[in-house]
Amino acid sequence: MERHGQVSMQGRYEYPLTRPVAHTGTIQVPLSSSLRNLDPVGGKGGSGITENLSFSFCVETPSLTGPDPTRIAFATPGAKEKWLHPAGSDSANLPPYMLPYHRQTLDNLKRLCKSLSDGPEHVVASAQINEPKQVMGKPRRLPVTTISLYGDPDVVLRTRGILLESIPLKLKCATVDIDVDQVIGEDEKFRADAAQQLERISDYCGVDIFVVHPEPTKGVSVRTGGSDTSQDTRLKILIYGDVESVECAKIRVLVMIDDMLGLHVDSIFLELSLQSLMCGRGRKDIQHVEAVTKTNIYLPTAFPGVYGYKPPKATPRHPDIIFITGQPEMIKQAARMISELVSNCKLYVKDVSLSMNKIDFIILERLDVVKKVMAENGSFVQFPSLGAGRSMMRIQAPDIPPLDRTIKAILNISHQYYNASCWVLLNETALSSMRPLLPQEVQRLLTDICVFSGADIAFSKFAFEIYGSDDAVKLALKIISDVRFVKENRSQIRVKVQVANEHKEFVSGKKNGKINKIMGQADVQILFEPFNEFDFYIDVIGVDFQASMLGLELVEQELPADISFYIPDRYHKRIIGIGGQHIQSIMRKYSVFVKFSNAMDRDSGGGRDTEEIAVDNVICRTPARNAASLELVKQEINAMVQQVDSEYVEETVVIPRLYHRTLIAQSDLLIGIEKKWSCKIRFPGTETASDVVTVSGPEWQVPHAIHELLAHVPETHTIDMTTSEKLQDALSSTDFKHNVVDRFKMQYGVLVETVLRPKRLSQNSAKGICQIQFTYTRDNRASRDIAIDLFKDFLISNGIMPDFQGLPVRPQSDSFEDSLPYFNNKLFPTAPTPKGSDEPNNSSTTSLPLPMEKLFSGVSLSDSPGPKAPENGMPGIGGSLHHAWDAMKTKPRTSLSDEQRERLVNELPDYLRQPGILKGTAGERTSMYNDSTADLDPSPVPFSRAVGTNPRSEPIGHPYSMNGIKRNSGENGLQAPIGPIGSMQPPRDVPRSRPSTAGSNISGISDSWSMISNTVPPGVAYPDADSRKVWGHFPMFEKRHNGQYLVP
């Protein structure tokens, strides 16, 4: 029972508070015993007000998981003990922060808090992992580590900085791909020299390194290259540690790989603040140096020491070192070119003030965005170290425009964070009647608010200070407003919103009309306070929570919402119109301000930056309440631009990292692609070890640019086979050279090479393996699958059973998969088994591939004697198509297994393509038509009518895309749309015409296609694309003149 006059600090139960995570005491840090001996908050002079500060803030609880132990090929000493759960533990159900490395980090934090609390400074520190309770309708939040401090304000701020520097707040796992042969020898053991180099890097940088096998692909052997791209067979080097140490170790691993490839390694020193300026906008200058000298240039991290953490036993690292790998003469030339770039670079420096809390939030949460801003503008940003308590940052750039853009971009990031305060106004009666507040109560309340909202909370002199993102600050204020002693007393809430100076008139309106309206509507006070030369503060002051939140919401609705995009300069006059009439009508229609700018495209800095760069030059701005109109304005402006130039987009394409240097060296090729398709090709930084290349430009041009770029990117796919004398004889024959190697190279653009390798320890076969390498360009990947199928047919024709390992994963078509259930309506029957023939090459017979023979369970589909079974046990099968058709019609379809149905779909088109199947006489085709359609649904139209061989039908487009195409429906002359194949229904009162065979060589396949088309359900639409690329199993038709599809 609560006594009169006492105030409770406990929050209301509508807001679920936190609970300590239940685990061993090594993680949960108990409240320091010295906290109980401190004076109560209200015990100083009986006034209830004290100078001491209570401060709580959250840091990210470690969530980085270790590698899969089953895939580890190598680990540096002590790495497994840190990043793997102990043997026998239920690792699948343990949270990530229970890893030994994370537990040790939290134990170190616990000991540091205890030592600081027992020290001479008047401060109490405690740390604890808290897990927010689940809120219905919202995603579950991860546990957070809460640090609480109590003491003198200056000492509390210094202690916060010490704690932030003592633990690795930002952990990272970097990945570098490496070929198997570089680290694993022929004995399948990890090479000793590679292990020694990795251990040396681990000790120097203070990180842990693993080498793991790639994740296995479903149904395919990883070791033998079983994936759609050969890059999936590379091993992965995983580097674990804090962000700065991981970046340092990754650069040294990349240098180690270059050294293994035979490149010379050298280094130079350059002031860190000049490195970004030397690179130029979008790294164009440094990539130009790499292209000319054919070298790799590795730059260090742009923010050394910003987190303040230094791993124990790690060697101090120089922040200005740059590694260059290549040929010795080229390295010297690259160093001279870098020196010239630095000497010709101008330098403009600007110091900008920013709240120290916002600087810390940017370092912890948005540092990657700052790196992108620096790369885009060729500028450098220097932040104070985390928790240093300084509120000044320095920006430098080679010219004024990029300097201003960098400052505005960083300040725009800071606008997402709010500062707020809540003052509890106590009168003398309340002060005299309330009991002193205990530090434990204050700490418990601040911890709950901090964990649930994610904001940093401070309490002193009955005033709450809140720092964090906009949503976090609002949620914290809501929780504080429901605390009982805050509700029972008068309070004042003040929220500060940082806005750019250029938007002051936009927000206030004419004669402060907007602000006056908000103050009258929400009963709040709004003040404009200057902050620095670029920004100002909007202070929203209210006497209660509801009024303050209403006023803040109305102010946020008046803040500018903008969108920017690129429109080529030649369209600006057309869009603006005579006297600006056209653009003004659009602005009035949507209440959006539109501004065209050409100065953003040009810099006066000279050099390669003067080249045209597609920078956003159209800005649309409107109040946030009307933000939905921005996209409409953009669409209307893009509608006045030609399709080839409208809607600039960015697409990414994966190209192996080691091939970037070769492409960059072909600068004329890249410039030609960029000019031809009006696109920009950007390669990632060499030190990022990324395979992702970005292509930006008009939406309709980017795919063409990517296709042309990939035409110069080679790719190799390797298939393994167990070697044998018969296989070696076949591969060394002239037939293999002429019909496989030369044919694939000339006809399909695929280079075939064979490599004999000895037996490896992991192979059970006593013989070695034969590797068949298919080399092609990335844009020609579809020809690889065709080449593999033809090579398989070559082996079968030579009596060799193909035991391929590492076949590529076949792309599956959704429309094809949808048609499979309907393929069960008709089945292939059992035909009488005829005798074999001694003339297997007779024109009236054909050889069925082994998978088709297995599909029909050894039943012959021939009416003539077949050949004797060859040595490999594959029986010969022959006969014309209509015999197979008769067999198909009488066998119950339900008797086929699922595997047989799947093989039927895959192998039937290959059977129909073979010589002798589709080249019968006209009389045979007429008979075949009558026989094949006897038991089929009479509604579908033969394929010959669809492609236009029947004079009563119109020629159509692609045979797989028939939606919306008109056809003559018969004597009534009505036009009706044709649906997908299998749904072309003629009127019932119109007799179905026979296919015309005169003067056409396609009508012979009309009936076979009718059988296939009858299996496709109505409503299935086929993609309008090249059939050889979309339907790899149906390369039956090739487009010729006048839209006709003929037999290849």
Give the pLDDT band (50/70/90) at residue 249: very high
Q: Of 938, 956, 1042, nearest to 993 (Cα)?
A: 938
Whether 901 shows a pLDDT value over 70: the answer reads no
CB half-sphere exposure, 779, CA atoms < 13 A: 11
**Average pLDDT over every residue of 563-589:** 89
Whole-angstrom Cα distance, residue 442 to residue 460? 10
Whole-angstrom Cα distance, residue 541 to residue 1041? 77
What is residue 911's predicted lDDT score, i.e. its pLDDT?
Answer: 52
Whole-angstrom Cα distance, residue 981 to residue 945? 12
Whether 960 shows a pLDDT value over 70: the answer reads no
Whether 171 shows a pLDDT value over 60: the answer reads yes
Six-digit token pair at 285? 């200058």
**pLDDT tens digit string along 284-326?**
899 999 999 999 999 999 999 999 899 988 898 899 999 999 9
Burial 25-63 (b: 16+ CB within 10 A, else e): eebbbebbebbeebebbbeeeeebebebbbbbbbbebbe
What is residue 1023's predicted lDDT score, i.e. its pLDDT?
Answer: 41
Give the pLDDT band (50/70/90) at residue 261: very high
What is residue 19's predicted lDDT score, i.e. its pLDDT?
Answer: 36
What is residue 28's predicted lDDT score, i.e. its pLDDT?
Answer: 32
Q: What is the DSSP string of 140-163?
A: PPPPEEEEEEEE-HHHHHHHHHHH
**pLDDT tens digit string along 60-118?**
888 899 999 999 999 999 999 999 998 888 877 888 888 999 999 999 998 999 999 98
Burial 215-229 (b: 16+ CB within 10 A, else e): eebeebebbbbbbbb
The answer to whether 621 touches 592, Cβ cutoff 8 Å, is: yes
Whether 940 shows a pLDDT value over 50: the answer reads no
**pLDDT tens digit string along 646-668?**
788 889 999 988 888 888 888 88
Instruction: Determine if residue 908 is left, alpha or beta; phi over 0 gives left, psi from -120 to 50 gives alpha, anything else beta.
Output: alpha
Whole-angstrom Cα distance, residue 767 to residue 684? 44
Give the pLDDT band (50/70/90) at residue 370: very high
The answer to whether 406 touches 381, Cβ cutoff 8 Å, is: yes
**pLDDT tens digit string along 820-850?**
444 444 444 444 444 443 433 333 333 333 3
Give the pLDDT band (50/70/90) at residue 758: low
In terms of pLDDT, which residue wins out, 864 or 451? 451
What is residue 470's predicted lDDT score, i.e. its pLDDT?
Answer: 92
Residue 287, C-beta contacts closer than 8 angstroms, at least 6 positions apart: 664, 683
Whether 368 shows a pLDDT value over 90: the answer reads yes
**Average pLDDT over every residue of 610-639:** 84
**Average pLDDT over every residue of 162-167:** 91
Whether 493 shows a pLDDT value over 60: the answer reads yes
What is residue 810's predicted lDDT score, i.e. its pLDDT?
Answer: 60
pLDDT above 70 covers a percentage of the chain that reads: 66
**Average pLDDT over every residue of 414-425:** 93
Whole-angstrom Cα distance, residue 784 to residue 788? 6
Cα–Cα separations (whole angstroms), residue 808 to 534, 681, 804? 57, 29, 10
Q: Looking up tokens 């047919």, which residue turns up?
A: 793
pLDDT above 90 covers a percentage of the chain that reads: 40
Whether 817 shows a pLDDT value over 80: the answer reads no
Whole-angstrom Cα distance, residue 961 to residue 1026? 10
Q: Mean pLDDT over all residues of the chain?
A: 75
Q: Looking up tokens 């209440």, which residue turns up?
A: 591
Long-range CB contacts (< 8 A, 24+ apart) of 848-854? 848/877, 848/911, 849/793, 849/796, 849/907, 849/910, 849/911, 850/796, 850/801, 850/874, 851/903, 851/906, 851/907, 852/877, 852/903, 852/907, 852/908, 852/910, 852/911, 853/877, 854/903
What is residue 798's predicted lDDT score, i.e. its pLDDT?
Answer: 87
Long-range CB contacts (< 8 A, 24+ apart) of 459-463? 459/53, 459/54, 459/55, 460/50, 460/51, 460/52, 460/53, 460/54, 460/153, 461/49, 461/50, 461/51, 462/48, 462/49, 462/423, 462/424, 462/426, 463/421, 463/422, 463/423, 463/424
In terms of pLDDT, which residue wins out, 575 or 1007? 575
Highest mean pLDDT: which of 424-438, 491-505, 820-834, 861-875? 491-505
What is residue 135's predicted lDDT score, i.e. its pLDDT?
Answer: 60
Cα–Cα separations (whole angstroms), residue 158 to 125, 150, 642, 1000? 12, 12, 60, 90
Give the pLDDT band (50/70/90) at residue 412: very high
**Average pLDDT over every residue of 452-471:** 92
Whether 1008 shows a pLDDT value over 70: the answer reads no
**Average pLDDT over every residue of 499-509:** 92
Cα–Cα separations (whole angstroms), residue 68 to 80, 219, 589, 1005? 11, 19, 58, 54
In terms of pLDDT, which residue wins out, 897 or 453? 453
Beta strands at 380-382 and 348-353: parallel, antiparallel or unpaired: unpaired
3-state secondary structure of 763: coil
Residue 472, C-beta contacts closer than 8 angstroms, at least 6 positions apart: 453, 454, 455, 466
What is residue 903's predicted lDDT score, i.e. its pLDDT?
Answer: 61
**pLDDT tens digit string along 69-81?**
999 999 999 999 9
What is residue 878's predicted lDDT score, i.e. its pLDDT?
Answer: 37
**Average pLDDT over every residue of 52-58:** 91
What is residue 608's predicted lDDT score, i.e. its pLDDT?
Answer: 42
For each of the domains in the chain, give its residue range(s) and CATH number, in order of start. 18-64+78-166 (no CATH), 65-77+170-258 (3.30.1370.10), 263-345 (3.30.1370.10), 348-414 (3.30.1370.10), 417-437+460-558 (3.30.1370.10), 563-627 (3.30.1370), 648-710 (3.30.1370.10), 714-811 (3.30.70), 934-1048 (no CATH)
Whether 519 shows a pLDDT value over 50: the answer reads yes
Whether 535 shows a pLDDT value over 90: the answer reads yes
Cα–Cα separations (whole angstroms), residue 966 to 293, 520, 569, 956, 969? 60, 65, 42, 8, 9
Highest mean pLDDT: which of 211-220, 425-434, 791-800? 791-800
In terms of pLDDT, which residue wins out, 331 or 565? 331
- Number of Cβ within 10 Å of residue 147's Cβ equals 23
pTM higher than the cut 0.75: no
Alpha helices in 774-880 (DSSP H): 781-797, 814-819, 850-855
**Average pLDDT over every residue of 730-755:** 90
What is residue 907's predicted lDDT score, i.e. its pLDDT?
Answer: 59
Q: Looking up tokens 């040009």, which residue turns up?
A: 602
Q: Which of 33-47, 221-235, 529-543, 739-753 has the lowest mean pLDDT?
A: 33-47
What is residue 490's predicted lDDT score, i.e. its pLDDT?
Answer: 87
Q: Of 193, 390, 398, 172, nearest to 284 (Cα)?
A: 398
Whether 592 shows a pLDDT value over 60: the answer reads yes
Beta strands at 348-353 and 392-397: parallel, antiparallel or unpaired: antiparallel
